[in-house]
Amino acid sequence: MANIELLILFLAGSALISYVLTRFNANIGSFFTIFVTMFVFVSLAGFGFAMNLDTTVNYLPGFTFSQSYLGFYFVIIITFVYLMVSFFHPYFINKFKYRSSYNFLFLLSLAGIIGAFYTNNFLQLFFFFELVIWTTMFLIPQGKSREAAVSYFGFSLAGSVALLLGIFMIFSQTGTFDINAGLAGLSGTTSVIVFILFLIAAFAKLGAFPLHIWLPIAHGNAPHPFSPVLSGALVKLGAFIAIFALIKIAPNTQTIGVLDLPLGHYMVALLGGLSIIFGTLMAIKEDDAKKLLAYSSMSHGGYILVAFSLMNGLAFAGGLYHILAHALASAGAFMAIAAVARVTGTTKMKEMGGMIHKMPITYLAYLIAIISMAGIPPMGGFISKWIIFQAVIDKGLIFVGIAVFFGSIGSFLYVFRPLAALFLGQELTEYKHVKEAPILMLIPTFIIMGLNIYTGVFPAKILDFINKIIVEVGYVPISVSTYAITGANDSILNPGLISLVFGIGVLIAFIIFILLKKSRKVELMDTYTAANFVHDEHLLHYTTDFYAPLERLYEKQSNWMTLFYQALAQKVKDLGSFCKYLFMSNHIGRTLLWIMLIIIALLWGEAL
């Protein structure tokens, strides 16, 4: 039987070993990291589904762990993403600034993840939460951008402070750091304040509007193999904190009901809708493939917040399923971009094209991932979005419903752009040497492709497990059978039938394409040049200003949110300079002034 404490200690010890091995030989350290993550994933999967993990503590005095279906669901998804990404390490490790520290921090962050989802103590939750944040902060600069790490840390710090304040407010009222007892004992104004503080922490970690500024900066500049972890795994910590606020804290609050929802939940649903809209609009105009997918993560985080805010089993099931669907789709898309960036050295879409001829499997991996992101059958994203949309309609939230629908349409627009830019179009001469990704990188690619399809065709077993979580948190489970899912107002979704029809349609189209005679093979350049001489092939790359007509509708709108945070950052910097001037000056007069003020304060305090 696997023990949670031993798994955490095993990861911590393995992190140190990987550091030594990577200093000796980077490839040996990377392969060691693969085996460690594989062992941890197999251990969790082998015992976690049946809740047979051992929670006893022998070597970490004061620590307490407990099992839950909810915690295991998050852990198994995130650990799986870590495992898949680790297969990329041998091909990227030599490109990093600090090679030996990369694998060390990677494994240490996974230890923090497991601890955060299995602890039963708020202080320990904060400790593991911070362990993940600090290791991530030092992993991001491996992509050679200090600004990205500072941006990530700044917003994470805001979330951490909010979380810590909320924890101490819980302790001040209940006298315990135990998670279940502390949340159950909340009442009155304190519960409202804790609700708000926990939501700030959740929004900061999830990258939801209005705390989303760090997402494109961090994702766009993080090491290529770490971006799938950031988007597919680590931001899900925010969703976990949001569950505390929206499900375990909020029922204790007395608020004004709006459209059959408490006011706090309604505001979260609105902010979730805004996250969907803003994330979609910003992704459409983005030219960097990784930053585009980062804005996509913001949009999909909005779906999760909307689902968790609706306070019923159907919506909660949709939110949990979307966490899985987005983790798989986002990881698949980022891994495909990483494979391309490895051989091209860029993620700028206007600088690439025609990669389908060199990397057809990578192209297929990205295609399947974006079909799921866009919520198109037969992928997992279709199932989760259908359930969420059903829950929104049932609640009668018009604006949120429009946002959810807009996000689905818009997501197809923005995820198609990298497909056209990177893989389709003309083949550029500077990439004639490019070859398909190595087999070790293709193994996780094939696995994620298969799971994206499986979650869209056969969701029943996953939803059965999600029903256990729904019962655990106190909601009514949804009706699901092998072939059908029951939505709002007794609507029925048959994923297998939809997938069958979809597959038959694709097969018929393929047969027609093969059988019909073609007069001649049309060369790609014929459609570009119309028989004219080509002077500069870059001028013909049609992905530049891909959605210019749409972008013109809002291009003149200033990014006021970015300007606000830039101004705030400048004020903080000015405050730091002022404090430095006051406390760190070598001027003798200022030093004597502080000595006198301290003496006066001490004498005054003694007199009182």
Query: Which residue in 353, 415, 354 sits closest to 381, CA to CA?
Result: 415
How far from the centroid of its chain's Cα atoms is residue 108's Cα? 18
Q: Is residue 532 part of a domain?
A: no
Count of C-beta atoms within a 10 Å radius of residue 238: 23
Confidence of residue 604 (pLDDT cuts 50, 70, 90): confident
State how many domains the chain has: 3
Identify the domain boundary among 103, 118, 143: 143
Q: Is the peptide bond before 210 cis (omega within 30 degrees of 0)?
A: yes
Q: What is the pLDDT of residue 272?
A: 94
492: left (phi over 0), alpha (psi -120 to 50) or beta: beta
Q: Do 96 and 192 share a domain, yes or no?
A: no
Which amino acid belongs to residue 517?
Answer: K
Q: Do 130 and 187 share a domain, yes or no?
A: no
Q: Do 181 and 132 share a domain, yes or no?
A: no
Write out pLDDT tens, residues 402-454. Answer: 999 999 888 888 888 888 888 887 777 788 888 898 999 999 999 999 999 99
Q: Do 160 and 135 share a domain, yes or no?
A: no
Q: Is residue 248 part of a domain?
A: yes
Write out pLDDT tens, residues 536-594. Answer: 555 555 566 666 666 666 666 556 666 666 677 677 777 777 677 666 666 666 677 77
pLDDT at 608 over 60: no
Q: Do 445 and 594 share a domain, yes or no?
A: no
Q: Is residue 539 part of a domain?
A: no
pLDDT at 598 over 90: no
Q: Do 118 and 267 share a domain, yes or no?
A: no
Average pLDDT on 22-36 reads 93
Q: Is residue 51 part of a domain?
A: yes
Q: Do 132 and 169 share a domain, yes or no?
A: no
Confidence of residue 54 (pLDDT cuts 50, 70, 90): confident
Residues ≥6 apart with Cβ < 8 Å to 464: 480
Q: What is the pLDDT of residue 425?
A: 72
Count of C-beta atoms within a 10 Å radius of residue 528: 16
Q: Is residue 503 part of a domain?
A: no
Q: What is the pLDDT of residue 597?
A: 77
Average pLDDT on 44-72 reads 86
Write out pLDDT tens, residues 128-155. Answer: 999 999 999 888 877 566 777 888 888 8
**What are the two backbone dihedrals, phi and then psi, of residue 59, each rounded to the nearest 5 degrees?**
-120, -10
Q: Do 374 and 251 share a domain, yes or no?
A: yes
CA pseudo-torsion sign 421, 423, 428, 430: positive
CA pseudo-torsion sign 47, 53, 58, 64: positive
Q: What is the pLDDT of residue 529?
A: 57
pLDDT cut 70: percent of the chain above it: 87
DSSP code for 88: T
Q: What is the pLDDT of residue 601?
A: 79
Q: What is the pLDDT of residue 413?
A: 86
Higher pLDDT, 392 or 60: 392
Higher pLDDT, 580 or 373: 373
Average pLDDT on 361-375 reads 93
Average pLDDT on 31-52 reads 91
Q: What is the pLDDT of residue 103?
A: 92
How far from the centroid of its chain's Cα atoms is residue 205's Cα? 9
Q: What is the pLDDT of residue 96?
A: 84
Q: Do 149 and 102 share a domain, yes or no?
A: no
DSSP string, 479-535: PB-SS-EE-GGG-EE-HHHHHHHHHHHHHHHHHHHHHS--SSPPPHHHHHHTTPPPS
Q: CA 332, CA 83: separation in Å to the nearest integer? A: 13
**What are the two backbone dihedrals, phi and then psi, of residue 55, each rounded to the nearest 5 degrees?**
-105, 5
Identify the domain boundary among 119, 143, 167: 143
DSSP code for 288: B
For the chain, first and last CA: distance in Å? 61
pLDDT cut 90: percent of the chain above it: 47
Q: What is the pLDDT of residue 276?
A: 94
Q: Do 85 and 182 share a domain, yes or no?
A: no
Note down the domain range covering 573. Answer: 558-606
pLDDT at 35 over 90: yes
- Length of the chain as a residue count: 608
pTM here? 0.89
Identify the domain boundary among 123, 143, 163: 143
How far from the centroid of its chain's Cα atoms is residue 223's Cα? 15
Q: Do 249 and 100 share a domain, yes or no?
A: no
Write out pLDDT tens, residues 273-282. Answer: 999 999 999 8
Q: CA 508, CA 497: separation in Å to the nearest integer? A: 16
Q: What is the pLDDT of residue 582?
A: 66
Confidence of residue 209 (pLDDT cuts 50, 70, 90): confident
Q: What is the pLDDT of residue 273?
A: 94
Q: What is the mean pLDDT of the chain?
A: 86
Write out pLDDT tens, residues 315-361. Answer: 999 999 999 999 999 999 999 999 999 988 888 888 888 888 889 99
Q: What is the pLDDT of residue 523?
A: 62
Q: Do 397 and 451 share a domain, yes or no?
A: yes
Contact 472, 398 (CB under 8 A): no
Distances (CA, A) of 565 to 86, 88, 151, 570: 34, 35, 10, 9
